[in-house]
Amino acid sequence: MRLRCAVIDDFQGVGGEFGDWASLADRVEVVSLREHVADEDELAAVLADFDIVVTLRERVAFPGSLLGRLPRLRLLIASGMRNSVIDYAAAETHGITVCGTESSSAPPVELTWALLLGLARGLVQESTALRDGGPWQSTVGADLHGRRLGLLGLGKIGGKVAQVGLAFGMHVSAWSQNLTEERAEEVGAALAPSKEELLATSDFVSVHLALGDRTRGLLGAAELALLKPTAYLVNTSRAAIVDQDALLAALHEGRIAGAGVDVFDIEPLPAGHPMRTAPRLLATPHLGYVSYANYTTYYGQAVENIRGFLAGAPVRRLPQGASRLRPLE
């Protein structure tokens, strides 16, 4: 009997087009699940008959309460080598092997600039007006050259965003709780003396921090109030870093020029969610990681992970150092 593998949140229905799934056909039946399932009871029922699950990013949580209800599950594959919503201890307890894949930082860097440029030059508004017979030129673009780009976080993604900003002739400053002057100098950025100073002096602010206890709600109403009324905020990192209600209020009240957002407190966004209709907002449906190269890596290495597991030698184990392997039945 072949094992059953669920590829969940395959929204575009393209997971099967990336990776050599055909090489597994004699041993594994692959099922693409295109609809997101948020309710844990429903998800447990949907996944009950699968031995392998391939999950996309951190959209679906796998707590111990869910893993304990999936008696057939033997292998859980995450895209990326870090996943904060998988209970690794529970997976170990239930004999579930967890593996990851590599992930490129280039696509979120590129999307960050797509959002920033789209905001600065009013691309959506101008394109819509052109197509719909609206006014010829209705906005005045915000310049990048000579303006200040403030980065919250200067890791792999933030560092690359900084370099693009410098290429545009921007002044780049950065801040995070552990950022050093040496790291800032590596990418040509200035270390801001404080988060507050960065927010108050930047024309564009972009968020590139990992979500954790210290960064959750880092930008609330008080912090957003520091931004210039002409400033733009971009968040392609994690929604919970920016207080969503405070951001919506700032947009509706016109206290900032606009925001570009790729991440949300609920994903996919419900039809009536206020982020769908907020003014001064350029929003995309979490496209930061969605690129041909990344999907080739995610699904190609997912196939490799399954092959390794079937051979009794799992690769790219999560967390690092995990050792227990539950035998196939």
Amino acid residing at 240: A
Please state whether beta strands 52-55 and 28-33 pair in parallel, antiparallel, or not at all (unpaired).
unpaired
77: nearest Cα among 322, 323, 309: 309
56: left (phi over 0), alpha (psi -120 to 50) or beta: beta
Helix axes 156-167, 106-120, angle to 10 degrees: 40
Catalytic residues: 238, 267, 286
Q: Which residues, including other chains, have CB under 8 Å from residue 131's CB and lie 6 or more apart?
A: none
